[in-house]
Structures are given as structure tokens and as C-alpha cells.
Amino acid sequence: MPCAARYAKLWPMRRADATDKPLTGWQLISLRPVGDHAPLRRAAAAHGARVLALSPWRLRLRDDPSTRAALRAALQAERVLFTSPAAVKAAASLRRLRARKDQIWLAVGEGTASALRRAGITRVVAPARMDSEGLLALPELQRLRGMSVGLVTAPGGRGAIAPALAARGARILRSDVYERVPIAWTPAALARLRALPMRHAALALSSAEALRLSLNALPPDLADKLRRARAIAASARLAAIAREAGFRDVVVADSPRPAAMVAAAAHPATRLPLA
């Protein structure tokens, strides 16, 4: 049973009040894109924690004739697969999303599935295990010989999906509808990280690419300091990547949802007491 699911049985998440904030004094470090930290802030605040936003990139819509043509082709495939809520938002801004009766639309997780439903796609298949491995285990993606799969995504990240589907015989119609643009951190952001007590800090890790970019871009002393934070990984795969990157204190959350990430950080079995 995933870590956060076990936590839910032992110590259910509930609305915190002034006397019930188990992460008081803690900071959660967020590597989400610029403008995408609010859900984690809300989940953290419910348990007394604050969020230090360290966005290594911003998202930029691709809007050119080749992108629109690739998206049009991807949306005509027999299987249409979206890899993130950002992919749904970008695609919907370029073209109205409409599903044919003979198509199956899929999402890598519930967040992406919810974004598709808001965009008007009523029937969406998503895995209970919200990662690439869970997606690739879906029955709808097993027998693909001679079938087309429209992959609506961005360059980088989730690199295992397209090769795995191609190995099953699928013809991949890829549409990169947005891109991640690296940004430089401000001196103020670096100063906040430098002043952060890592004994009571947790890194919310939902992207291997964001972690790699951050560790490479940070000054060596701050990269080493970041490795002393507790890594809250959104999947077992990301937990392994965190350990390989030098993190020693790694906890696996039940999903990439902010509430699940905070649940993993907040559970008494994994928390360090405040000094």
C-alpha cells in the first residue's frame, strides 16, 4: 500500500484548526512552474507549514502552424493521451477539444482527467496510480498494434511513455503544445533558501526534470543544502531518483496531489520534532 494511503488509515487528513497544525514551523520547497504554487500553499497552510517557491522554469504555450497541425492530427488518433493539466490547458487554448465515439481519451492522473472534463471531455480513463507506470499498465494501452495514439504533451519529462507505446506497436502522433522555459532564480530566492533551516524543510518532488535542473543550476553549497531536506516523492520512481541525486531522507507520497504530498510530510512517523 502506498505510503500516504497507509497514513490516511492511521492518521486521517482533516481540516486543521489553531490547535491542530502538525507542520507548524516547517517549510515545503516547491519546484512547480511559475504561478503553479497555490494548491501546495493551501494544503501546507492547513497544517501550519509555509511554502518556499523555487520555480526552475515557466510554461510557455506553443502557438504556430506546425504545433496546430500536430495537435489536429493527435486529436484524431484512436487513443488520445494527455500527460498533464498544462497540456490540456494549452491544447484547449489552441483548439476545441471534442471526442468521437470511437476514441478513448486518457490522462496520466486525476488532475489531468479533471482538466479534460472541465474542457468538455466527459469520458476519460486515468490510472489509480498517477504516474507513467500506472498509465502504461492501463488495459486500454496494452494491445496497440496498428493503432494510432495521440500524445499531447511537452518536450522533456515523462520520457518513458512514447517509447513504451511504440514498442507495443502504436503509431505515435506527438503534439508538444507547450514548453518549459528555464529561468534564473533571483538573489532574494537564493537568500531565502540559504537561510532555511533544513531540519524542518521538505522538498515536494513531482518532476525529475525539475529536480535535475534545480540541482544543476544552484550554487554547489545550496545544492548540497537542498539535499539535506526531506524529499517527499510523488512516486517510487521519483524516490529512487531522489536517492540517486543524494537525498538521504526520502518519503513516498500516495500521489502528486498537494494534499497527498503534505500528508506524507505531516505524518508523525516521518516528522522530526521542532527543536
3 state SS of 15 = coil
Q: What is the pLDDT of residue 177?
A: 97
pLDDT > 70 fraction of the chain, expressed in percent and rounded: 89
The backbone torsions φ and ψ at residue 239, rounded to the nearest 5 degrees and listed phi first, read: -60, -45
Are residues 142 and 167 located together in one domain of the fold?
Answer: yes
Mean pLDDT of 157-171: 89
Pairing of strands 178-182, 57-61: antiparallel
Let me know if residue 184 belongs to a domain: no
Please report how many Cα atoms fall inside a 13 Å half-sphere around the Cα of residue 139, on the Cβ side: 0
Let me know if residue 275 belongs to a domain: no
pLDDT class of 22 with cuts at 50, 70, 90: confident
Q: Across the chain, where does the E strand assignment appear?
A: 27-30, 50-53, 57-61, 79-82, 104-107, 124-125, 148-153, 171-176, 178-182, 201-205, 230-233, 250-252
Mean pLDDT of 177-183: 94
- Alpha carbons 266 and 275: distance in angstroms, whole number: 16
SS3 content of the chain, % helix, strand, coil (to 5): 40, 20, 40
Beta bridge partners of 181: 58
Q: Across all residues in the chain, what is the average pLDDT?
A: 87
Q: What is the pLDDT of residues 228-274, one digit of tens each?
A: 999 999 888 899 999 999 999 999 988 888 888 998 887 765 555 54
183 contact partners, CB below 8 Å, separation of at least 6: 34, 55, 56, 57, 58
Are residues 148 and 224 located together in one domain of the fold?
Answer: no
Let me know if residue 163 belongs to a domain: yes
Let me know if residue 41 belongs to a domain: yes
Are residues 174 and 209 located together in one domain of the fold?
Answer: no
Are residues 122 and 39 located together in one domain of the fold?
Answer: no
Query: Which one, of 50, 52, 55, 62, lies nearest residue 35 by Cα?
Result: 55
3 state SS of 108 = coil
Domain final residue, candidates 118, 146, 179? 179
Are residues 203 and 113 located together in one domain of the fold?
Answer: no
Please determine, for residue 125, whether its predicted confidence score (pLDDT) is greater than 50.
yes
Are residues 171 and 243 located together in one domain of the fold?
Answer: no
Q: Which structural domain range is residue 210 located in?
A: 3-16+24-58+197-266
Let me know if residue 92 belongs to a domain: yes
Number of domains forming the structure of the chain: 2
Query: Which one, of 174, 107, 171, 166, lies nearest residue 135 by Cα?
Result: 107
Between 4 and 55, residue with greater pLDDT: 55
Are residues 64 and 46 located together in one domain of the fold?
Answer: no
Are residues 149 and 208 located together in one domain of the fold?
Answer: no
Are residues 135 and 98 located together in one domain of the fold?
Answer: yes
- Alpha carbons 23 and 5: distance in angstroms, whole number: 19
Question: Which DSSP state fits 168?
Answer: T
Q: What is the pLDDT of residue 213?
A: 92
Output the domain CATH number for residue 167. 3.40.50.10090
Please determine, for residue 205, whether its predicted confidence score (pLDDT) is greater than 80.
yes
Let me know if residue 192 belongs to a domain: no
Are residues 87 and 7 located together in one domain of the fold?
Answer: no
Are residues 79 and 160 located together in one domain of the fold?
Answer: yes
Q: Are 271 and 199 in contact (CB under 8 A)?
A: no
Query: Which one, of 64, 71, 69, 70, lies nearest residue 89 by Cα?
Result: 71
Pull the grid cell for residue 48: 501550519
Are residues 65 and 49 located together in one domain of the fold?
Answer: no
Let me know if residue 190 belongs to a domain: no
Let me know if residue 185 belongs to a domain: no
